Structures are given as C-alpha cells and as structure tokens.
Amino acid sequence: MRTFGLIGYPLSHSFSKKYFTEKFEKEGIENTVYELFPLETIDAFPELIKSTPNLVGLNVTIPYKQAVMPFLDELDPKAEAIGAVNTIKLENGKLKGYNTDYIGFKESLIKFVGPNPMPQQALILGTGGASKAVQVTLEDLGISYQFVSRKSVDNQLTYDEITSSPHHLATSSLIVNTTPLGMSPNIEGLPDLPYEQLTPNHFLYDLVYNPLITAFMQKGINANCWVKNGLEMLHGQAEAAWKVWNG
C-alpha cells in the first residue's frame, strides 16, 4: 500500500485528503492511500518518517513549509530559490523537497490575467512561506513587487504606509493576499487596505480558497476589480505534486 499524506498543524482546513482520495477512486489508482499527519511540532517529523511504512510522498502546509527544510536530504533548485517546501518525495531512503505552490500559482496567474498585459507592479500581502512562491513567480514573469506586512521592516511596506499614500495602490495593479486572513471560519477577516482606492484596473488574487469569495475579494468585486481565489492554484499544486511523486 503506497502511502501519501499531509503534514502541518492544525489540519482541519485541509482539502488534500478528500482531493487525493477522490482522485484515486476516479482514476482507478489502487493500493494507494492519503492520510493526514498533524504534527504539533516539526521535531516529530523524523519519527513520522521512521514509523510510516511505504511512505512515498508528503505535502507540507502551515506552519512547516520552511521549518521542514533542515530535515531533508536534498532540495529541488526552485524550492531552494523560494526558501520553502510544500512537497516531499521519499525515494531510496532519501527525502527531497519541492515547491509546487510556485507551479500552481504561476499557471493560475497567467490564466487570470489572460489576454490583458501582465501587470508591471504588484503588492504581496504577507511574508510567510506562501509569499515566497509568489515572489519567485513574479520575478520569473518580470513583475516588480513590494511586500506588505504589519511591522516596519527594511524593503517592506506597512499597511499604514499604503493607507497614507495613494501612490502605492495607484501603481500596483496586482495585489496578492498570501495571509490566512478571511479563511473559514474567520470569514470576516481581511487585510487592512484603503479599498476605496481600488479601480477596475486592479487584479486581486487571494490564496485563500475557503470561502470561495473572501471578504478581500468582495471588496474587489464592489470596486469592479478582477478577482480570483486560490482554488485553481491549490488544484494545480496538487497535480504538480502528484507528478513529482510519480515522475
């Protein structure tokens, strides 16, 4: 029985087990199971590897996309550049880390913008593990960006700075929310932005996928912006992980 799974904590919000279990049934993939492995601490990771027979691959979610890296034997070059891992392949006793968030986000963003010119400037809301994949994607697509966080850090904007100066939203037509704000069950949460400055020329991409329309996205809808949630990215990164495990 080939075993795949997800590590993180907590895992109540995860779609992965349902997604892959349905995939196995739909595609007639036999002798394969997908399990959830909630780890209260990343220090429990080595014991999980040791005690789980026939483990072939793992997905990694909050809060371990960066914390798991020291436990791996090798990193795919893109994961190393991003500085975060969301997929692990176990082969010949070795653990190799990949980042398929990058693949999922890049493919989804290109579809989202569609025939429109690619934005020249973007704001990345949040500085966690997911933001790194977004950062490298924008670099590869030639889109300039600035990080936005609550605290004042060199080369990062604060939400207060964005609110106090219309320049930032006026020049950044793409806004990507990589924070968990607005995720179920706390669906009223959203980044602290001057939403009244939004125009129909703005693209709002929310990595949150539950609910399908977040409070952040609704602000964009109210301003006639282009909006997208993270569900397509989620599916894309999952399929890319499956290719990694079986490649």
Q: Is 228 a catalytic residue?
A: no
Backbone φ, ψ for residue 144 (5° rounding): -70, 155
Tell me the three-class secondary structure of 84-134, residue by residue: CCCEEEEECCEEEEECCHHHHHHHHHHHHHCCCCCCCEEEEECCCHHHHHH
**Count of beta carbons in the 10 Å neighbourhood of residue 36:** 15
Catalytic residue among 17, 23, 65, 89: 65
Which residues have CB under 8 Å from 26's CB, separation 6+? none
Residue listed under structure tokens 């989804």? 108
∠ Cα 151 136 79 (to 5°): 105
> Where do the DSSP E strands lie in the chain?
2-8, 32-38, 55-60, 74-75, 87-91, 94-98, 121-125, 144-149, 156-158, 174-177, 203-206, 226-228
**Residues classed as catalytic:** 65
